[in-house]
Amino acid sequence: MPTVRDVTFNLLRKLGVDTIVGNPGSTEETFLQNLPADFTYILALQECSVVGIADGLAQGLKNPVIVNVHTGAGMGNAMGAILTARVNKTPLIITAGQQTREMLLCEPFLTNVEATTLPKPWVKWSYEPARYQDVPGAFMRAYAMAVQQPAGPVFLSLPLDDWNQEMDDVDVFRTTSTRVAPDPLRILEFSKRINQSKKPALVYGGDIARSDGWDEGIAFAEKLNAPVWCGPFSERISFPEDHPLFAGTLPAAIGPLSKTLEGHDLVIVVGASVFRYYPWVPGEYLPSGAKLLQVTDDPYEAAKAVTGDSLISDCQLALVELGKNVRERPAAKGQDTAKRNPAPVDLENVNSPLTAKQLFAVLSQYAPEDFILVQESPSNIPELGRSRLGIIRKPDSYYTMGSGGLGWDMPAAVGLAIAEKRSGRNRPVIVIMGDGSFQYSPQAIWTAVQRDLHMVVVVPRNEEYGILKSFALLEKTPNVPGLDLPDLDIVSLAKGYGATSYYADTIEDIGSRFKEALERKGVTVIVVPIDKHVHALLDN
């Protein structure tokens, strides 16, 4: 008779899920024993990196990935990245071993007490099979739950003695649709309101990128001839930032956001929260007299929107349907052209250390035509966005976390680089990583080196948690302790994980190291000192 393992691995083959990212312990070894040759196990050295790598890989492959971590402690370490996977809407089947059923009542060492409660509220479904025979069916249900919109992580707690049990060779494979089409009546209502509006504005978010709606988003904006804003803290970019209709990123605060949209009588948000605010700056949600329409694939987002009317749908499908029904508009008189042109930077007269702006200008000179950009560099996001390197022009080329949880981007970049290698796209992954942010998941670099990936990490080193100083200024909270980061030897850390690493502090050095890192495959970490200065928090 087949075992639970045999039946489960057969199911996973049918589902096309063949990759496990994990960090093993004794409670996971029965699952991992004699891993079939057609499955890949990717080892990461800490669970935040495990989940981050799986997240990047799943996004890069556009397919769910299995995560396997070690009972309660592994799940504890994984939680920050699980939270981010939920916000990022990444389908992950997260599994953790559980102690033997025989002993669970006496709670032996390594018992995951209340295993299904631990990952809540950040998983869509959390389950420990009631019987070993239910393990394959639980995986099927987990898959179906993870891939349906809004996609996201699910959790299975798996007692270690289940895997070798014999069971009938049941086939629990089934399929389910993954996209939700819009209500046709609601489409007509929304189209009518768009057609009646005098000056609509568009706000695009990550759902469009996830639904492969890049082209449809452009066509819709061009038909309306309306400016396109990117929602605050967007984890994906869904519209070319060099397009003449691109208007910028909305500020992440109530008052400034509505001020930015002044002059528009209708705000059409597609695939973003309404809105992802950060500091509290009071004001109206919308400019006076303006109304808001939201399209989202997530009923939760529709319910929590602070204002406006919502339509629940896959964003690509909704853009196509709305596009058929809205009237074509000419360009408004005096309408601006592309807002996002690289800012001019003087590289002739520079001080030491360089500014972030100068650093990004240098990197931009060598940036290839095709690459993936990943950033976790909080105080430098606006400057990055004004450089050629940071102006996103192509679909599926920018990724970050929508949660604010540091420690996600380094491993996610590794997962994305694995997907690039596996798919044969082979774009290099360029990571801009703050010196503070670097410390949350540095061990992901080891996985990248071991898997021979092409990744270039540039660390703007300001020796501080710069963004927190900006926040303290805005919130008028002086003398917060613990915001300085002296004496961190990031080059040695990177070398310790096997990367090639350099300290570069001149324009020539930065340029030649970056160029070399892009030409040579492999993992390179370049640490560049930059000046300390407190940025305005709501600078976009």
Ligand X SMILES: Cc1ncc(C[n+]2csc(CCOP(=O)(O)OP(=O)(O)O)c2C)c(N)n1
Site residues (CB under 6 A) for ligand X? 80, 377-380, 404-407, 434-437, 462, 464-468
Q: Answer yes or no: are the C-beta atoms of 514 and 458 closer than 8 Å.
A: yes
Q: What is the CA radius of gyration of the chain?
A: 24
Position 137, amino acid: G
Tokens linked to 79: 């939680």
Of 84 and 313, the one with the shorter C-beta distance to ligand X is: 84
Min CB(252)–ligand X separation in Å? 13
Closest of 255, 324, 267, 314 to residue 293, by C-alpha? 267
Min CB(397)–ligand X separation in Å? 22
Among ligand X, Mg ion, none, partner that 126 touches (CB below 5 to 8 angstroms by kind): none
Among Mg ion, ligand X, none, partner that 10 touches (CB below 5 to 8 angstroms by kind): none
Among Mg ion, ligand X, none, partner that 380 touches (CB below 5 to 8 angstroms by kind): ligand X
Of 213 and 378, the one with the shorter C-beta distance to ligand X is: 378
Of 80 and 385, the one with the shorter C-beta distance to ligand X is: 80
Min CB(443)–ligand X separation in Å? 15
Of 240 and 402, the one with the shorter C-beta distance to ligand X is: 402
Among ligand X, Mg ion, none, partner that 90 touches (CB below 5 to 8 angstroms by kind): none
Among Mg ion, ligand X, none, partner that 8 touches (CB below 5 to 8 angstroms by kind): none
Of 39 and 278, the one with the shorter C-beta distance to ligand X is: 278
Among Mg ion, ligand X, none, partner that 529 touches (CB below 5 to 8 angstroms by kind): none
Min CB(483)–Mg ion separation in Å? 9
Of 308 and 460, the one with the shorter C-beta distance to ligand X is: 460
Among ligand X, Mg ion, none, partner that 378 touches (CB below 5 to 8 angstroms by kind): ligand X
Min CB(472)–Mg ion separation in Å? 14
CA–CA dist 282, 293 (Å, integer): 22
Min CB(439)–ligand X separation in Å? 8
Residue numbers at the binding site for Mg ion (CB under 5 A)? 434-436, 462, 466
CA–CA dist 142, 414 (Å, integer): 25
Tokens linked to 460: 């703007």
H or E stretch at 41: strand 40-43
Q: Answer yes or no: are the C-beta atoms of 390 and 360 closer than 8 Å.
A: yes
Q: Answer yes or no: are the C-beta atoms of 58 and 420 closer than 8 Å.
A: no
CA–CA dist 283, 499 (Å, integer): 48
Among ligand X, Mg ion, none, partner that 404 touches (CB below 5 to 8 angstroms by kind): ligand X
Closest of 418, 362, 368, 432 to residue 394, by C-alpha? 368
Min CB(125)–ligand X separation in Å? 25
3-state secondary structure (DSSP) of residue 318 = helix
Min CB(503)–ligand X separation in Å? 16
Would you report the helix, strand and coil content of the chain in percent, each value rounded to 5?
Answer: 40, 15, 45
Among Mg ion, ligand X, none, partner that 80 touches (CB below 5 to 8 angstroms by kind): ligand X
Of 315 and 494, the one with the shorter C-beta distance to ligand X is: 494
Min CB(198)–Mg ion separation in Å? 45
Of 272 and 467, the one with the shorter C-beta distance to ligand X is: 467
Q: Answer yes or no: are the C-beta atoms of 375 and 400 closer than 8 Å.
A: yes
By beta carbon distance, the residue nearest ligand X is 434
CB atoms within 10 A of CB 101: 15
Among Mg ion, ligand X, none, partner that 20 touches (CB below 5 to 8 angstroms by kind): none
Min CB(347)–ligand X separation in Å? 21
Tokens linked to 468: 């927190």
Helices (runs of H) and strands (runs of E) counted in the chain: 18, 18
Q: Answer yes or no: are the C-beta atoms of 78 and 51 closer than 8 Å.
A: yes
Between helices 135-147 and 4-15, what is the axis angle to 10°? 20
Of 57 and 457, the one with the shorter C-beta distance to Mg ion is: 457
3-state secondary structure (DSSP) of residue 326 = coil
Position 420, amino acid: E
402: phi then psi, degrees, rounded to nearest 5 = -90, 5
Of 69 and 359, the one with the shorter C-beta distance to Mg ion is: 359
